[in-house]
Amino acid sequence: MKPGFAFALEATDGAARAGMLTTPHGSVATPLFMPVATAATVKGIDIGRVRETGAGMVLSNAYHLHLRPGEAIVEQAGGLAAFMGWDGPTLTDSGGFQVFSLARQVKVTEEGAFFRSHLDGGRVEFTPENSMRIQERIGADVAMQMDHVVPLPNDRAVVVDAMRRSLRWAARCRDAHTRPSQALFGIVQGGLEPDLREESAAGLVALGFSGYAIGGLSVGEGPAAMDAALRATVPHLPADRPRYLMGVGQPRDIVESVAAGVDMFDCVLPTRCGRNSLVYTFAGQLRLRNAVHATDDRPLEAGCPCVACRHGRGYLRHLFLAGEMLGPVLASIHNLTFYQRLVVRLRAAIAGGHFARTRQELLAAFTPAAGQAGGAEPVAE
């Protein structure tokens, strides 16, 4: 673990863990959920409101910040946190996911990934070495290794090739990373194959990282397959280091992942769904455009402290139907607050020794009844 960084377990209940992650920009309790500030902004939400949701750590993307405004500008501003006006810990993804999400524009070789910029078509080169240089200059508390992500399900040969390339890239990232005030996490790959997940985890642990992420999931494989991949991976990760499941996900996914022993999460769903009028509550999802809410003056959720819940559902529905930007903003704030309340509830259940009961209560609420609309695959950004 790098100087200024620490991870301490404070309670366990089965495989579920509650802990404290310490960074140079402060400490944050786990399980934790990081709002996604891809380009140094959480979409539609000013940074003060993000803090009010209960968030303690945010995530940005090295690929997008490299393209605009450029790491030199972020560095000149004093680093990522200062640039966005954030007063807590930050994490940058390496750009590896863009190998998957921008696959039509990417060529992957052993040297790295070569993009055509989605902004102007210009050539962009990401190698493990320059990914580290970019992330060091951006200055987040945690940097991620560059990895090779492929869609799932997939041919085993494709998954093996990507996983072993990711291991080789992990070694190059470790060797290239020099910033003493920044932790570096390795990323476990291996698709849905238990033996490949174990091989990847063992290889990363042998290299030695400050934390370990589980990548390459939530890319089309479905919840049951994701759960199985987690169960095959987590036992092979060190108990004294944070475990981070990247890009996940639905509330149900977070509950089950905490049950498997995961500590950290990020996902765009709270804001993406909020912009599309879908909100989360502990009683299930609400679709605010539905006519049933037209004259409903109840808040989205009783007891929720967010600014959206100072208004009735009917008013929030009106904002969406009227095309007012306030509707998506308020719904996004509510969803971000819900995710923070969820991880706080899970942490309390672990500390109190009643995680199994809380898990079942939450899963029952998050599972749609027969005939009801299910887990919302939201409109793309």
What are the residue numbers of the active site? Answer: 93, 266
Answer whether 367's CB lies under 8 Å from 317's CB: no
Residue by residue, DSSP assigns 351-370 as HHT-HHHHHHHHHHHHSPPT
Helix orientation angle between 326-352 and 313-321, rounded to the nearest 10 degrees:
140
Upper half-sphere CA count for residue 237 (Cβ side, 13 Å)? 28
DSSP letter for each residue of 72-116: HHHHHTTSHHHHHT--S-EEEE-SHHHHHHTGGGEEE-SS-EEEE
Question: C-alpha 64: how far from its chain's center?
Answer: 16
Give the span between the Cα atoms of 182 and 75, in whole angstroms: 14
CB 94 within 8 A of CB 148: no
Residues 6+ apart with CB under 8 A from 38: 60, 61, 64, 268
Closest CA to 262 of 211, 322, 338, 323: 211
Q: With contact defined as beta carbons under 8 Å apart, do 97 and 131 qualify?
A: no
CA 50 to chain CA centroid, nearest Å: 15
Question: What's the rounded Cα separation, in Å, for the pair 273 and 62?
Answer: 24
In angstroms, what is the C-alpha Rg of the chain?
Answer: 20
**Could you report how far apart the first and last alpha carbons of the chain are, in Å?**
36
DSSP secondary structure code for residue 300 in this structure: S
